[in-house]
Structures are given as structure tokens and as C-alpha cells.
């Protein structure tokens, strides 16, 4: 039996998920990634928790309720497409968002609360993104110009409102993989 993993994230609204899925369809025609993320799984991770006990999940729930009550909804704007890992054979292809201080403040509060609960979290700097694909497997080296050519025809400045954060559970044997367990609305 696989262990259950959890994370806290900003969900992506339907209209943005649909636009990203259309972009993803175009990218699939010319890019060879092993796994393409299902559109219902698009999100911006604030804290990956990994495994969690029932008590820890209850503590997370209480902490996120308080954090959500201390943050107002805010706008995010889609930005560039990028990669993580080797630039010629990337591990992750992602859609970025423009820097927004309110997102960083929210993430800092979520991160701190999870550390206080006892989770060991990723220490890398926060790089907000929406994962589109994983594991380059092309016969040739990855060419970012193909992505940029497709992306040039898209509206890079698409905006959406962040109204909630969500505690998700991961199901590696299903598609979509991420199940929302608890939703925490931000202040309007």
C-alpha cells in the first residue's frame, strides 16, 4: 500500500485551467515529455508536506483556517514558461506567474505554520509555478524556442484571482491525482 502524501496549494480557476490545457495540447505536438499533468491537477504549491498523521492533518486544518482569515484575495498574472532541471533535458515544464508580494506573504505564513507543526519542508527558494509536464524523453535535446514560439501567440498577461488555498491528498494511482480535502477561503 502506498503512503499518502499531502500538500497545500493555490488551486487554478477553471477558465485558466482550460486555457493552459489548450496550450498544453499545442505543446504535446512538438515536445516529448513522459507525463503531462491533467488540467484538474494544475495548482501552485505553497508547501509539500509529504506524509502526515491524523493529528498533524488536524493541526494543519486549524492553522490554515487561521491563515486564510488573515489574507485577502488577490490577483495573479500568468508570465513566462520555464523549466527545472537540465535545460537540454528538463525534469519539469511549467507555466510561471508574475511576482506578487501577496502570494509570497501567504506562502511564508503557510510554510512557517507547517514547520511549527513539525513538517520538514523543502528549503529551496519559493518559485511559484504551475507544472504542465514532467520528464523530458525526446530523442533530441529540449529546445526552449519551440515553447517560446507557441507561447508568443498566447496572452502572457492572463489574470486570475486567488480566493482560497486547499489541502490536497495525492493519489499516484489515479488521474487526476490530487484530491482536495479541505478548502480555506481567503477574505474577500
* Residue from 5, 129, 140, 171 carrying the catalytic annotation: 129
Told to judge if 129 belongs to the known catalytic residues of this protein, a careful annotator would answer yes
Q: Which helix (H) or strand (E) holds 149?
A: helix 144-151
Sheet holding 129-136, edge to edge: 33-36, 129-136, 92-97, 74-84, 159-162
CA distance 20 to 132: 8
Tell me the CB-side half-sphere exposure of residue 135, using CA atoms within 13 A: 4
| CA dist 147 → 46, 75, 121, 143, 166 (Å) | 26, 25, 31, 7, 30
* Residue from 5, 38, 43, 140 carrying the catalytic annotation: 43
CA distance 121 to 111: 8
CA distance 129 to 142: 19
Which cell numbers hold the place of 106? 501567504
Residue 121, classed as helix, strand or coil, is coil
Told to judge if 171 belongs to the known catalytic residues of this protein, a careful annotator would answer no
Residues recognised as catalytic: 43, 129
Amino acid at each position: 500500500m502506498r503512503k499518502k502524501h499531502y500538500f497545500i496549494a493555490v488551486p487554478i480557476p477553471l477558465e485558466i485551467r482550460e486555457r493552459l490545457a489548450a496550450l498544453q495540447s499545442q505543446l504535446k505536438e512538438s515536445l516529448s515529455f513522459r507525463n503531462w499533468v491533467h488540467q484538474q491537477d494544475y495548482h501552485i504549491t505553497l508547501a509539500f508536506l509529504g506524509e502526515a498523521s491524523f493529528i498533524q492533518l488536524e493541526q494543519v486544518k486549524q492553522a490554515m483556517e487561521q491563515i486564510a482569515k488573515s489574507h485577502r484575495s488577490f490577483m495573479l498574472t500568468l508570465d513566462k514558461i520555464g523549466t527545472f532541471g537540465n535545460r537540454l533535458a528538463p525534469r519539469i515544464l511549467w507555466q510561471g506567474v508574475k511576482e506578487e508580494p501577496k502570494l509570497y506573504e501567504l506562502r511564508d505564513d503557510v510554510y512557517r505554520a507547517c514547520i511549527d507543526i513539525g513538517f520538514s519542508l523543502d528549503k529551496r527558494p519559493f518559485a511559484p509555478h504551475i507544472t504542465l509536464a514532467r520528464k523530458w524523453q525526446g530523442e533530441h535535446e529540449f529546445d526552449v524556442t519551440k515553447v517560446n514560439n507557441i507561447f508568443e501567440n498566447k496572452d502572457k498577461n492572463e489574470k486570475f484571482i486567488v480566493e482560497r488555498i486547499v489541502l490536497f491528498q495525492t493519489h499516484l494511482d489515479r488521474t487526476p491525482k490530487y484530491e482536495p480535502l479541505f478548502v480555506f477561503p481567503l477574505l474577500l
